[in-house]
Amino acid sequence: MATLGDHAEKLADKAASGVQSAADRTADMAQSAAAAAADAAETVKEARDAAWDVGRRAHAQARDALDDAYARGEDAVQELADRVEERPLAALLVAGAIGYALAYLLHARR
């Protein structure tokens, strides 16, 4: 017949194997979580690098557009200066007409 000591020993062995099984599952879950965190960190790094690359390209495109607009503005100013030199009286009359029209519009609102 089994004694109380034998029964207690069997229960202790069963409890120990249950604790060991839980510890093994916890270790596996911790490893899985660590692997998922490493994957997430790599994904974040890739996204950061992609965003940096897009920002760099956008900056280059904006600079090119700005340089182009500046060059066009310089060309327009030079063309206007050339026309004023060719016909100074006409340029003065046009400037006066524009000034008169603006003054009329501003004072007509009162």
100 domain-assigned: no
1 domain-assigned: no
4 domain-assigned: no
89 domain-assigned: no
107 domain-assigned: no
Model confidence at 90: pLDDT above 70 = yes
pLDDT attached to residue 5: 75
Q: Is the pTM of this model over 0.75?
A: no
104 domain-assigned: no
Q: Which token pair is 12? A: 């202790």
Residues 87, 83: Cα–Cα separation, whole Å: 6
pLDDT attached to residue 18: 81
37 domain-assigned: yes
Mean pLDDT over each residue of the chain, to the nearest integer: 90
103 domain-assigned: no
Residue 51 sits in which domain range?
A: 13-82
**3 — phi, psi (to 5°)?**
-90, 170
- Helix, strand, or coil (residue 87): coil
Q: How many domains does the chain have?
A: 1
83, 91 Cβ separation under 8 angstroms: yes
